[in-house]
A = this chain, B = another copy of it.
Amino acid sequence: MPKKKILLNAFNMNAVGHINHGLWTHPRDRSAHYTDLDYWTSLAQTLERGKFDGIFLADIVGVYDVYEGGPETPLREAVQIPINDPALVVPAMAHVTRHIGFGVTSNLTYEPPYLFARRMSTLDHLTRGRVGWNIVTGYLDSAARGMGLAQQIGHDDRYERADDYMDVVYKLWEQSWEDGAVVRDRAARIFSQSGKVHRVKHDGPYYSIDAIHLSEPSPQRTPVLYQAGSSSRGVDFAARHAECVFVGGQNKQLTRSIVEDIRARAVSFGRAPDDIKIFAGITVVVGETERAAQEKFEEYRRYASAEGGIAHFSSSTGIDFSQYELDEPISYVKTESMQSAVEAISKKSVSGVWTKRKVLEQMTLGGRAKPVVGSPQQIADELVSWIDEAGVDGFNLTRTVMPESFEDFVNLVVPELQNRGVYKEDYDPAPTLREKLFGGGRARLPDVHVGAQHRRWQENGAKQTVEA
């Protein structure tokens, strides 16, 4: 039996600092060139040379202003500010590649579904079915103020709203245009058969719509759905909707329990356990030898910003760490809006009593996860053990020095993984991202997925009687 193949996403953001902060100051780092198209197209080509499954673009709407009560440190250290739109770098990357997928983060709380659905359909067309959507609901008051609200919508309300939003976009993507609607018949002068194009009607608690989807069906219709919610409500949302889930990568045993929980909940929604691919976040520093890797790591460390990391973490948790002494126990009020961040920390990041020192110790490269440092063989051992012990399907590879860290991984780790038979030698020829992840012929959501249940017609074109 062939070994399970490790899936790989390059984790990135249309910004200078993403997870490992401060590294833009490294002399070889080019992350400050994020405004250049060539920076992106060249990265996509490197990753496709390494047979990466996807390049995943995080996003944040808003600024981190919890630490010291303002955005000064994030601005100085370029901690996800400035931050440009992630979707707009995809078309240029798609034009210079053929296989790699593109995950785009979009905050549904602030994007009107009618226009957002068209944007994703357009990307799916232009990439020929290589697009995914990372569904986020946001957590920053600063974003809410940008949108003209006094503060963000409550955490559970956001998920209620998200469920309603998903219903709308599923209907637009899956229900509005039948597969046989577009015929492009020049002789008969029929582009679309209007009888096979349906108005979507939705009158939900948060969203109402009565419209035809503006785009004709794209290769995948619904983009591959990503999610990273770690609160109980967030995991339920992921188990219901997500096809790829991101989990933190701090601890294999804890991660295993999270993975099992997600798969069990997916089954409770009528899905198969492996209908969800789970990616652990990981930072790798690799050298030709262990010693070369350690030296590289020590060199990188000198440019890292623990303060940038902790300013980021302050907004993730809602706790202003600047107020604490190094060894002072950190207490917090568990408010609804910070519930998921607090659950995430208590599960994954810090055990025992929290202190600022413990958090800072995590920040060796300016990010909260400790990097894996070693030779190609050592990195491969570690990745394989994560697959075996934590039950994940692959990794979200976090960047350090750009693009050097991805080049090193492609040049050193990928061949080692291929030699071991745990990584693909070449891409699956199936064109769409969903097929590459789940197998040929599965370009669309599987029938058991909640989104597929919005289809009112069958693949053969016969109308179903299901009511929307």
Q: Which residues of A contact B (CB under 8 A)?
A: 14, 16-17, 22, 24-27, 32, 35-38, 41, 61-63, 70-72, 75-78, 81-85, 87-92, 94-96, 110-112, 114-115, 118-119, 121-123, 125-126, 142-143, 145-148, 182, 184, 186-187, 189-194, 197, 207-212, 214-216, 218, 305
Contact = CB atoms under 8 A, between A and B. Distances in A.
Contacts of A110: 112, 114-115
Copies of this chain, count: 2
A75 B118 CA distance: 17
B72 A114 contact: no
B89 A92 contact: no
Given A71-B212, A85-B122, A114-B147, 10 more contacts: A37-B94, A76-B190, A82-B214, A84-B122, A89-B91, A91-B92, A110-B112, A114-B146, A146-B211, A189-B305
A362 to B, nearest CB: 20
Residue among A182, A214, A218 with the highest chain B CB neighbour number at 10 A = A214
Q: Which 6 A-B pairs have the closest CB atoms?
A: A146-B211, A78-B191, A35-B125, A114-B146, A82-B216, A84-B122
Contacts of A32: 184, 191
Nearest to A196: B75
A88 B126 contact: yes
Contact of A119 (B85, B92, B126, B210): B85
Contact of A35 (B16, B126, B186, B212): B126
Given A82-B215, A209-B146, A37 B88 contact: no
Contact of A88 (B17, B22, B84, B88): B88
Nearest to A125: B35
A24 B142 CA distance: 47
B76 A14 contact: no
A76 B191 CA distance: 5
Nearest to A70: B194
Contacts of A218: 35
A117 to B, nearest CB: 10
Given A95-B92, A115-B111, A191-B78, A27 B186 contact: yes
A186 B92 contact: no
Contacts of A92: 91-92, 94-95, 126
B191 A126 contact: no
Nearest to A73: B194
Contacts of A87: 88
Nearest to A126: B37
Nearest to A77: B191
A189 B95 contact: no
A112 to B, nearest CB: 6
A75 B148 CA distance: 37
Contacts of A186: 24-27
Nearest to A190: B76
B122 A88 contact: yes
Given A115-B110, A209-B148, A123 B37 contact: no
Given A75-B191, A92-B91, A189-B22, A81 B125 contact: no
B118 A85 contact: yes
A22 to B, nearest CB: 7
Contact of A14 (B22, B75, B112, B122): B122
Nearest to A203: B148
Contacts of A215: 82-84
Contacts of A146: 114, 209-211, 214
A21 to B, nearest CB: 10
A81 B214 contact: yes
14 contacts: A32-B184, A35-B126, A37-B95, A61-B214, A76-B193, A78-B191, A81-B212, A82-B192, A84-B214, A85-B115, A88-B88, A88-B123, A110-B114, A114-B147
Residue among A17, A110, A112, A190 with the highest chain B CB neighbour number at 10 A = A112
B77 A24 contact: no
A83 B214 contact: yes
Nearest to A25: B186
A29 B186 CA distance: 10
Nearest to A17: B191
Given A41-B95, A145-B211, A184-B32, A118 B76 contact: no
Contacts of A70: 194
A240 to B, nearest CB: 23
A192 B209 CA distance: 42
